Amino acid sequence: MILEASQLSFRYDSDPILSDIDIHIGPGVSAIIGPNAAGKSTLLKCLSGILQPEGRVRLNGKDIRQLSVSEITASISYLPQEFTPQAVLTVFETVLLGRLNQLGWRVTSEVLELVERLLEELQLTSIAGRYVNELSGGQMQMVSIAQALVRQPAVLLMDEPTSNLDLRRQFDVCGFIRQLTDSRGLSTAIALHDLNMAARFADTIYVLENGRVRCQGEPVSVLTEEMITEVYRVESRVTIEPSGRPHVAVLGPCSQAPTRET
C-alpha cells in the first residue's frame, strides 16, 4: 500500500507549520528526521488523517478525504509521540483497544490470542495485568507500540517510538518494526531523532527543516556531514560501515552559524 502526499501544507492559526511537502511512503521503512519543531509530528498527523492539511494525501491513489474514518484506520495505524494515559486499564485491555472495530460485548478468542501473541513478541506478557497508569515511561511506550501493531495495518506511522526506551530496547523495537515491515510488506514511516537508528533501519530518509523537505534519499546519500552541520548546527564525522550504511559520530556544536547556500 502506498501513502503519498503532494503539495501538502498545514498551518496552526496563521503560523505555517508545513509547506509544499511531497512525500511517498511505500513498502519499506522511511525515516523522517529533522530538528525540533521541524514539523515531523504534524506531518505524520496529516498523513494519518488526524489533521486536515491543504494539498493532497492519497492512499493507494485515493484521496484520503474521500475515505471514511473506519477505512483510514483499517489501513493506517498512527502511533502518537505522547502516551501517558491516566486510565485505570490493564496493559492487556489497552492493547486490546487497538482492535476497537472488532470488539463487541464479548471479546472473541481470536482477538484475545492475537493480543496475547503480540504481548509475547514484545516481551510484555509479564506486565499484561498491570494498570497502564502505573507503568514507567518506557513501558508505556512499549504498550503504545503494541497497540499500534495489533491493528495489523498496511501503513504504519510512528512518531518517535523509541524516545523513552533504553539503548537495548531501541534496537529491539526498531529491529522488530523492520522485520515486521519486511515480512508483511508494510509501508512504515518513523519520525526519529537518532540519526544512527535512521541510518541503520531505514530504506529512505526524509530530512525536514522549517516545515519543508530539505532532502530525501537513501541514508548514505542524505546523512552527510554538510547536511548535519546545516540542519542540526553540530559538527559530525560520517563514516561508512561495512554494511554500506553511514554512521554518524557527533563531535559537538558548531562554533558559529554555518553559511547556507541558496
Partner 1 sequence: MSKPLPSALSVSMGAGVGYQRLGRRRLMIVALSFLLLVISFTCDILTGPAQLPLSDILSTIWSPDSASDSLRTIIWTFRFPTALMALLVGASLGVAGAEMQTILNNPLASPFTLGISAAASFGAALALVFGAGTFVFASTLLVPGFAFASALFGAMMIYGIGRMRGGSTETLIVGGVALHFIFSSGVAFLQYVASDDTLQAIVFWIFGSLQGATWSKVAILCVVLSAAMSLLATQAWRLTALRLGDIQARSMGVDVDRLRLQTLALISILTATAVCFTGAIGFVGLVAPHLSRASVGEDQRYFLPLSALYGALLVSVAAVICKLAIPGAIFPIGIATAALGAPFFAALALLKRRAYW
Cell of 28: 519499506
| 184 contributes a contact to partner 1 by CB under 8 A | yes
Binding test (CB under 8 A) with partner 1, winner from 60, 133, 136, 221: 133
Binding test (CB under 8 A) with partner 1, winner from 42, 73, 139, 188: 73
Site for partner 1 in 158-177 (CB under 8 A): 172, 175-176
Q: Output 107 or 220, the one with its CB closest to partner 1.
A: 107
What amino acid occupies position 177? I
Min separation Cβ 250 and partner 1, Å? 28
Cell of 148: 499500534
Q: Output 185 or 258, the one with its CB closest to partner 1.
A: 185
| 86 contributes a contact to partner 1 by CB under 8 A | yes
| 110 contributes a contact to partner 1 by CB under 8 A | yes
Greatest Cα-to-Cα distance within the chain, rounded to the nearest angstrom: 63
String marking each residue 208-237 x if it binds partner 1 according to CB under 8 A? ------------------------------
Binding test (CB under 8 A) with partner 1, winner from 7, 60, 70, 221: 70
Binding test (CB under 8 A) with partner 1, winner from 47, 114, 154, 195: 114
CA 138 to chain centre: 16
| 140 contributes a contact to partner 1 by CB under 8 A | no
Give the pairing of strands 3-12 and 15-25.
Answer: antiparallel
Spatial CB neighbours of 172, under 8 Å, sequence gap ≥ 6: none
| 137 contributes a contact to partner 1 by CB under 8 A | no
- Residues in contact with partner 1 by CB under 8 A are 45, 48, 50, 69-70, 72-73, 77-80, 82-90, 92-94, 96-98, 100-101, 103, 105, 109-110, 112-123, 125, 128-129, 131, 133-134, 144, 147-149, 151-152, 172, 175-176, 179-180, 183-184
